[in-house]
Amino acid sequence: MNPAFPVHEPYRNALAAEQALVVRWLNAYLRESGQFPEHGRSDGEIKLPVTNRTLYLSFQYLSAAGHHRYRFPIRGSIAAGSKPVELSGIETIDWLLAEIAASEQGLPDIGERVARLRERALNSISKTEAYLQAADRRLLCARDGLSAANTLLRSEQSLLFGHPFHPAPKSSEGFSVEDLTRYAPELGASFPLAYWAVHPDWLEERWLPGAEAGQLKDNWLEWERTTLASTEEKRLLSEGYRLLPCHPWQSDYLRSLDSVRSGIDEGKLIVLGDLGEPWHPTSSVRTVWSNARPYYLKLPLHVRITNFIRTNDEEQRRRSLDAACVWEEAKRTFERGRFDVMPEYGFLSLRGPGLQAETTVLFRDASPIFRAESEDWHVAASLLEDENEASPRLPRHAPDAEEWVRRYADTYLSPVLQLFADYGISLEAHVQNALIRIEGGFPAGCLARDMEGMSVSRGSAFARRCMGTVIESASPVLYEEEEAWMRLLYYNVTNHWGHMLAAVSRSSGAEERRLWALTATSLADRASYGSERLQYWTRRLLDRKGLPAKANLISGFQGRGERPVYGDIPNPLNGTTIDGEGWR
């Protein structure tokens, strides 16, 4: 961040946290209100027509996809012709919030909505400040020569600012200060899991067929048998009890539920407590990873992280495993190259009303990481978060930036588009759901994860072959073609690609619009020797006037986090190919 005046060290992190959130509110409001600053502008205004106010902006960086940076302080005037005054970060957020509230007078409980969203924003600032302070202390651990596993772990636990268009990207409601210290990835947390012994009548499970899923299941069952045999309750193995892993916070929460207390009283559920090696929370907070295991565990956590209480309901777990089944079928013929997917291969949960979502644990394949001891993997979001400073792995010069973009397209965006064109599979591979491998200073591989967000066009020939054999025709993973396409565009182009190009432009000095044009050329060239369907969908992408964008700000105010509002932003790919234009 760039404070306009010297800041005493104890307040630097507080200011950085506040300004980072102001950037997100300004960028979200500009996007959602349809205000797109002209290319080349160094300053601009945000009109707040309902409250009759104006915010005056000075751009430090103007982005083709809306990832702007600003010089602080922000100034504003309360009426036409009035003298602009300097605003604090919170005052800027309050002005934007007042405008939204005044525009949404038809909603009930306006005052409560204002207070709620403001509180979440303050929660996010507070958490970000704590993470920045901890990051300063952890710098001593950030040395070259770390193992690949530690490099990935550091990447997973280094997202200090969060989603670039979210009004409360680091809020977590439900964690106390002590909980945060114990469980927040941003604070370098690690902890043993809490385990429950479960009578077989109370356990529900499903594992997918196939060698890879079988190896994962065998690894888990071996740990389960060893653990149950080591307990003082020797009857557990002989009576068929099973093991259920829990997040320690969730384990305490479960004991507050009447149905769980009943199971404990009946001896069907036995709390074994914290056991085994420490696990590390990843960037999603509730998914944990141990480099001693070939799987991640996607755990339920009854804490509101950004928009949602993070549990795993019936539809989510079914979508995850159905998506894995579809992927297993597709990868038989899909030429993956340096691109791959990390599916969920099974789940465990308690039976009973209200218990599935709170206890379902999904097992995600981590074998590509588990095997790759010398490879340099990073969560894409950690490579691109540059509020403090740009990642040392981003290119520093314009020619390197162009080569970076070409290779990133080859390893990520082109395979994603190919997968949709030829199979109807749309991945939700946003920057937190994608791992990028760096080799020789450039992107060299991509792993997409969290299959709960995958969608499949039910009209595709591939989906029709899968229905009734691989998945049911009523599977929640199936979408209408245009909706699956829209999801692909938002998560992969607007969200992931737009973020990456802005970060690379800032790190290298390369003009962002040229990087968009280079992207269009790369996709067009690849499509020119691809299938007719790849050519068709590539044309659809390059000819679109707008790209879909999620309206996180207004959706949060309206309480539509699970059914968000979408709008369009100008498509920077439209009409921008550098050469090879004859294909189009």
Three-state DSSP state, 578: coil
Amino acid at the residue 367: S
Domain membership flag for residue 160: no
Q: How many residues does the chain have?
A: 584
Residues 194, 331 within the same domain: yes
Share of the chain above pLDDT 90, in %: 79
pLDDT in tens, 58-95: 999 999 999 999 999 999 999 877 899 999 999 999 99
Residue 137 has a pLDDT of 67
Q: Does an H or E element contain 461, and which?
A: helix 461-466
SS (H, E, C) 19-57: HHHHHHHHHHHHHHCCCCCCCCCCEEEEEECCCCEEEEE
Cβ pair 304, 172 in contact under 8 A: yes
| Residue that terminates a domain, selected from 296, 330, 362 | 362
Final residue of a structural domain among 362, 389, 416: 362
Average pLDDT of the segment spanning 350-377 = 87
Residues 302 and 428 in one domain: no
Comparing 148-157, 502-511, 540-549, the range with the smallest average pLDDT is 148-157
Is the domain of 387 the same as that of 348?
Answer: no
Q: Which of 308, 317, 435, 387 is nearest to 131 (CA)?
A: 387
pLDDT of residue 174: 84
**pLDDT value for 138:** 59
pLDDT tens per residue across span 432-451? 999 999 999 999 999 999 99
Q: Is the pLDDT of residue 281 over 50?
A: yes
SS3 per residue for 120-170? HHHHHHHHHHHHHHHHHHHHHHCCCCCCHHHHHHHHHCCCCCCCCCCCCCC
Average pLDDT over residues 162-190: 92
- CATH number of the domain bearing residue 494: 1.10.510.40
Phi-psi domain of 354 (left: phi exceeds 0; alpha: psi -120 through 50; beta: other): left
Asked if 13 and 98 sit in the same domain, the reply is yes
Residue 582's pLDDT is what?
Answer: 41
User: What's the domain count of the chain?
Assistant: 3
Question: Is a pLDDT exceeding 90 seen at residue 175?
Answer: no
Please determine, for residue 273, whether its predicted confidence score (pLDDT) is greater than 70.
yes
Task: Give the mean pLDDT of 365-374.
Answer: 77
Number of H helices, E strands in the chain: 21, 25
Residue 367 lies in a domain: no
**Is the separation of the CB atoms in 91 and 97 below 8 Å?**
no
pLDDT confidence tier of residue 407, bands split at 50, 70 and 90: very high
321-355 pLDDT tens trace: 999 999 999 999 998 889 999 999 999 999 987 89
Q: Given a cut of 80, is residue 8 above it in pLDDT?
A: no
Residue 176 in domain: no
In a domain, 526, yes or no: yes
Q: pLDDT-derived band of residue 164, with 50, 70 and 90 as boundaries?
A: very high
Write down the pLDDT at residue 575: 81
- What number is the average pLDDT over the span 26-52? 92
- Same domain as 493, residue 454: yes
The answer to whether residues 405 and 458 belong to one domain is yes
Predicted pLDDT of residue 134: 87
d(CA 437, CA 336): 15
Asked if residue 164 belongs to a domain, the reply is no
**Residues 554 and 113: beta-carbon distance below 8 Å:** no
- Per the prediction, the chain carries an average pLDDT of 91
**Same-domain check for residues 347 and 447:** no
Give the pair of three-digit tokens for residue 240: 């068929």
365: nearest Cα among 419, 410, 327: 327
In this structure, the answer to whether residues 413 and 439 fall within a common structural domain is yes
What band does 567 get if pLDDT is binned at 50, 70 and 90? very high
Assess whether 383 and 437 both reside in one domain. yes
Domain region containing 511: 375-583
What is the reported pLDDT for 309?
A: 85
Instruction: Specify the DSSP class assigned to residue 187.
Output: G
Confidence of residue 578 (pLDDT cuts 50, 70, 90): low
Give domain status of residue 4, yes or no.
no
- Per residue, the 3-state secondary structure of 565-577, as one string, reads CEEEEECCCCCCC
pLDDT band at 148 (very low <50, low <70, confident <90, very high): low
CB 414 within 8 A of CB 493: no
The whole-model pTM stands at 0.93
Distance CA 455, CA 491 (A): 12
How confident is the model at residue 583, as a pLDDT? Answer: 46
The pLDDT value recorded for residue 250 is 97
Cβ(384)–Cβ(503) below 8 Å: yes
Q: What's the mean pLDDT in 255-270?
A: 94
Q: Which of 84, 355, 396, 169 is nearest to 246 (CA)?
A: 355
CA distances from residue 158 to 132, 154, 184, 369 in whole angstroms, order as listed: 10, 6, 11, 18
Q: Mention every residue, 6+ apart, whose C-beta is less than 8 A from residue 214.
A: 207
Looking at the fold, whether 575 and 448 belong to one and the same domain comes out as: yes
Yes or no: say if 436 and 443 are a contact pair by the CB < 8 Å rule.
yes
Q: Answer yes or no: do 225 and 145 share one domain.
A: no
Q: Is the pLDDT of residue 311 over 80?
A: yes
Residues 442 and 562 in one domain: yes
577 pLDDT above the threshold of 90: no
Name the pLDDT band for 6 (thresholds 50, 70, 90). Answer: very low
How far is it, in rounded angstroms, from Cα 261 to Cα 255? 6
The reply to whether 197 falls in a domain is yes
**How far, rounded to the nearest angstrom, does the alpha carbon of residue 390 sit from its chain's CA centroid?**
19
- pLDDT score of 143 more than 50: no
Whole-angstrom CA distances from 370 to 143, 214, 295, 440 are 22, 16, 8, 21
CA nearest to 329, candidates 317, 343, 315: 343
231 lies in a domain? Answer: yes
Cβ neighbours for 176, distance < 8 A, ≥ 6 positions apart: none
